[in-house]
Chain A
């Protein structure tokens, strides 16, 4: 079973800066089947990225994903106040169980 480890646990940045979030898998994720979700307090998660680098519908191009194999990155450029949230990575494209990373909290510095 794959384990997804996200780092850092908490990232403190200011609006306008660039955030770099990491997700490392314990074994290679085939075809880059890696998704990212954003969750704001009191809200449901929202799909941001899938296939490691494809943006979901309506997601601004400030969000970008990259990586392959076991190392994946979510980059958020020009941080807006609404971007401060918790971000989770998750592998897809294979049979269950579906594993989430433990999350990275992006907070305002």
Chain B
């Protein structure tokens, strides 16, 4: 069935960088917008970033704007999240999620299992 698999999480020191990947399978990846959503330990869901189906538009939460970059490679069915200047408050499980539409205006109908990022010295 339709699947999203995140990777790239780990433990990183404050101020350093990390790149997350999310590999899609069993659907036409290039037709859909993709989101990253995170969840800090014991907290609720926080939307992080969105990229349109063709990569032409990208949006970010204020909390990560200027530090995180979302991108995609439709030839590899993969979406990425480049995270720079990491802070302790970025510690979370990061989920990628498929938007039901190509422009990101719809609901998130498929979710990956998440990858854990811990920012600590």
Residues of A at the B interface (CB closer than 8 Å) are: 35, 37, 39, 43-47, 50, 56, 88, 90, 92-103
Determine whether the beta carbon of B107 is less than 8 Å from that of A44: no
Contacts of B37 in A (CB 8 A): 45
Pick the interface stretch among B23-31, B73-81, B82-90, B110-118.
B110-118
Determine whether the beta carbon of A95 is less than 8 Å from that of B59: yes
Set B47, B60, B95: member contacting A99, Cβ < 8 A: B47
Determine whether the beta carbon of A94 is less than 8 Å from that of B45: no
Q: State how many angstroms separate the Cβ of B49 from the closest Cβ of chain A.
A: 8
Contacts of B45 in A (CB 8 A): 37, 39, 45, 88, 90, 100, 103
Determine whether the beta carbon of A98 is less than 8 Å from that of B50: yes
Determine whether the beta carbon of B59 is less than 8 Å from that of A47: no
In terms of DSSP, what is the predominant structure of the interface of chain B? strand
Report the interface size for chain B: residues with CB under 8 A from the other chain.
25
Determine whether the beta carbon of A47 is less than 8 Å from that of B108: yes
Residue of A46, A98, A102 contacting most chain B CB atoms (<10 Å): A98
Determine whether the beta carbon of B44 is less than 8 Å from that of A50: no
Determine whether the beta carbon of B105 is less than 8 Å from that of A92: yes
Set B62, B95, B105: member contacting A45, Cβ < 8 A: B95
20 contacts between A and B (CB under 8 A): A37-B108, A44-B95, A45-B45, A45-B95, A47-B110, A50-B109, A88-B44, A90-B107, A92-B106, A92-B108, A93-B106, A95-B59, A95-B104, A96-B47, A96-B104, A97-B59, A97-B61, A98-B50, A99-B47, A102-B44
